């Protein structure tokens, strides 16, 4: 059925459901134009305050509305999508498929997956590994199945792109039974973003005459959450986030890499329970914890410019960690052809990019100061004479989810 439709323009609804929020985009699969998008917030929150911001070609519309659960939120989203004033479609029947972002696919889901009841049960089981995310993702899927039972629902997993990482890179040196009993291993996240920018970089490398089957690329996704991936010939060989998104780079509020015994030390000193330690690692640390100013890079950069020492230190820590990973991943891949910067910080902060690349000339990395300051992505910001390309590539996870949804359904 789907194959017949593939010649025509498909409208794909992309959904990213959080515990109390729901982000959506309606995308034309052929032109990749965003026909409509929005964000529903404060779903199921006692005390209300529910709000939806909806955008379409007709402008922006704000709606204050109580939403008891994701199903009620979806009702309002469908009403807005089909609304005669601000809608992009006349009826829900115009939506060809829904692509859902699902955070954790574990070892089970390594490809985009057409969701049925059995898959939903498996995704729910994986909540043990992603207790904040997978249950919310399932709520969004269920709400769509209920409203549009005959429309294909496709799950795209944040972890899936990292499924090619070899065991010596994904295992932790803990007793092996924790891997077999509980699935304790590196999974990696931001897979959809890394995949999108890698594909884009491969096109640019090809145009530059590099063999993309063996190209060695490091992707730096630097947003509130931040992670890096080492990718050979389009296949991930290592990534900085681990079993959870807390490992690796310094982030807005997360520590990244840490001596594990510090947690034992703090638990004893603070008489802290696991949830309190979790809060320290994930919500009180990173740029916020070190600077004491903010988790937002713009605020940290500004404070550092004004002479705030701890903000300067947070910035140094942030950039140094990335530099260290670039060195480690170059060694892991036996060389380097390109580095990609993406995410809110990677795309917008020329000073972070300059700090990260400083002193990496021995690897063949040198950026062109002017290009780094002025160009918007996708762009090559490296010095023309450098042997490694440095690319600025705006990420677009929703577009990638729409593409993968169409690619999967076209196979059926």
Quick one: DSSP state of residue 29? T
CA 272: distance to chain centroid?
30
Binds ligand ADP (CB under 6 A): choice among 125, 146, 298, 309: 298
Tell the smallest beta-carbon distance from residue 173 to ligand ADP (Å): 30
CA atoms of 50 and 40, how far apart (whole Å): 7
Closest to 288 measured CA to CA, from 265, 307, 315, 306:
315
Q: Which residue is nearest to ligand ADP (CB)?
A: 344
Task: Compare residues 215 and 294 and give the one whose CB is closer to ligand ADP.
Answer: 294
18 in contact with ligand ADP (CB under 6 A): no
312 in contact with ligand ADP (CB under 6 A): no
Residue 229's SS3 state is strand
Task: Compare residues 337 and 397 and give the one whose CB is closer to ligand ADP.
Answer: 397
CA atoms of 365 and 359, how far apart (whole Å): 8
Residue 336's alpha-carbon distances to 8, 220, 328, in angstroms, are 41, 14, 11
Tell the smallest beta-carbon distance from residue 372 to ligand ADP (Å): 13
3 in contact with ligand ADP (CB under 6 A): no
Structure tokens at 111: 């490809």
CA atoms of 359 and 324, how far apart (whole Å): 11
Q: Are 321 and 315 in contact (CB under 8 A)?
A: no
Task: Compare residues 152 and 191 and give the one whose CB is closer to ligand ADP.
Answer: 191
CA atoms of 222 and 236, how far apart (whole Å): 17
Give φ, ψ of 113 to 5 degrees.
-130, 135
Active-site option among 62, 64, 158, 181: 158
Query: Per-residue b/e over 261-273, b at no fewer than 16 CB within 10 Å?
Result: eebeeeeeeeeee
Segment interacting with ligand ADP, rule: CB under 6 A, options 2-10, 51-59, 302-310, 342-350? 342-350
Tell the smallest beta-carbon distance from residue 53 to ligand ADP (Å): 16
297 in contact with ligand ADP (CB under 6 A): yes
Task: Compare residues 170 and 196 and give the one whose CB is closer to ligand ADP.
Answer: 196
Structure tokens at 364: 């063949």
Segment interacting with ligand ADP, rule: CB under 6 A, options 22-30, 36-44, 222-230, 305-313? 222-230
Tell the smallest beta-carbon distance from residue 377 to ligand ADP (Å): 13
Task: Compare residues 137 and 349 and give the one whose CB is closer to ligand ADP.
Answer: 349
- Based on the residue annotation, tell me whether 62 is a catalytic residue of this protein: no
Q: Are 126 and 105 in contact (CB under 8 A)?
A: yes
- Omega within 30 of 0 (cis) for the link into 181: no
Which residue is associated with the tokens 């060389």?
A: 335
301: left (phi over 0), alpha (psi -120 to 50) or beta: alpha
225 in contact with ligand ADP (CB under 6 A): yes
344 in contact with ligand ADP (CB under 6 A): yes
289 in contact with ligand ADP (CB under 6 A): no
CA atoms of 366 and 168, how far apart (whole Å): 31
Angle made by CA atoms 330, 333, 335, in degrees to the nearest 5: 55
Binds ligand ADP (CB under 6 A): choice among 278, 296, 316, 368: 296
Tell the smallest beta-carbon distance from residue 223 to ligand ADP (Å): 3
Q: Count residues binding ligand ADP (CB under 6 A).
A: 13
Task: Compare residues 330 and 342 and give the one whose CB is closer to ligand ADP.
Answer: 342
348 in contact with ligand ADP (CB under 6 A): yes
Tell the smallest beta-carbon distance from residue 346 to ligand ADP (Å): 8
CA 129: distance to chain centroid?
17
Tell which positions 99-158 bind ligand ADP, by CB under 6 A: none
Binds ligand ADP (CB under 6 A): choice among 99, 105, 191, 223: 223
Task: Compare residues 202 and 227 and give the one whose CB is closer to ligand ADP.
Answer: 227
252 in contact with ligand ADP (CB under 6 A): yes
Tell the smallest beta-carbon distance from residue 290 to ligand ADP (Å): 14
Task: Compare residues 202 and 395 and give the one whose CB is closer to ligand ADP.
Answer: 395
What are the beta bridge partners of residue 391?
A: 340, 380
Neighbours of 57 (CB within 10 A): 10
Give catalytic residues, as residue numbers: 158
Residue ranges binding ligand ADP (CB under 6 A):
223-225, 252, 296-298, 301, 343-345, 348-349
């Amino acid at each position: 059925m789907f194959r017949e439709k593939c010649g025509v323009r498909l409208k794909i609804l992309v959904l990213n459901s959080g515990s109390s929020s729901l982000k959506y985009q309606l995308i034309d699969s052929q032109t990749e134009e965003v026909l409509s998008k929005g964000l529903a917030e404060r779903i199921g929150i006692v005390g209300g305050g529910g709000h939806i911001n909806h955008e379409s070609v007709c402008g922006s519309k704000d709606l204050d509305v109580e939403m008891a659960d994701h199903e009620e939120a979806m009702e309002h989203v469908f009403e807005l999508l089909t609304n005669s004033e601000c809608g992009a479609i006349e009826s829900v029947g115009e939506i060809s498929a829904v692509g859902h972002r699902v955070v954790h696919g574990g070892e089970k889901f390594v490809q985009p997956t057409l969701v049925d009841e059995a898959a939903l049960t498996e995704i729910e089981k994986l909540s043990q590994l992603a207790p904040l995310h997978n249950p919310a993702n399932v709520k969004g899927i269920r709400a769509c199945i209920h409203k549009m039972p005959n429309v294909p629902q496709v799950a795209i997993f944040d972890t899936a792109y990292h499924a090619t990482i070899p065991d010596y890179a994904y295992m932790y040196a803990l007793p092996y039974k924790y891997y077999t009993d509980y699935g304790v291993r590196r999974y990696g996240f931001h897979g959809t973003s890394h995949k999108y920018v890698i594909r884009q970089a491969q096109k640019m490398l090809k145009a530059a005459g590099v063999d993309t089957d063996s190209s060695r690329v490091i992707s730096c996704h630097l947003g509130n959450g931040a992670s890096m991936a080492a990718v050979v010939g389009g296949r991930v060989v290592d990534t900085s986030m681990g079993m959870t998104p807390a490992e690796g780079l310094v982030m807005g509020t997360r520590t990244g890499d840490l001596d594990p015994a510090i947690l034992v030390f703090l638990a004893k000193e603070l008489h802290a329970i696991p949830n309190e330690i979790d809060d320290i690692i994930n919500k009180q640390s990173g740029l916020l914890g070190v600077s004491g100013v903010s988790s937002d890079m713009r605020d940290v950069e500004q404070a550092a410019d004004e002479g705030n020492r701890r903000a300067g230190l947070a910035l140094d820590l942030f950039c140094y960690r990335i530099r260290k990973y670039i060195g480690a991943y170059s060694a892991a891949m036996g060389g380097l052809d390109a580095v990609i910067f993406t995410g809110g910080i990677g795309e917008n902060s020329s000073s972070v990019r300059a700090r990260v690349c400083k002193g990496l000339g021995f690897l063949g990395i040198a950026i062109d100061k002017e290009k780094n300051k002025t160009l918007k992505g996708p762009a090559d910001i490296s010095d023309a004479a450098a042997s490694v390309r440095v690319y600025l590539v705006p990420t677009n996870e929703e577009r990638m989810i729409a593409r993968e949804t169409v690619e999967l359904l076209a196979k059926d």
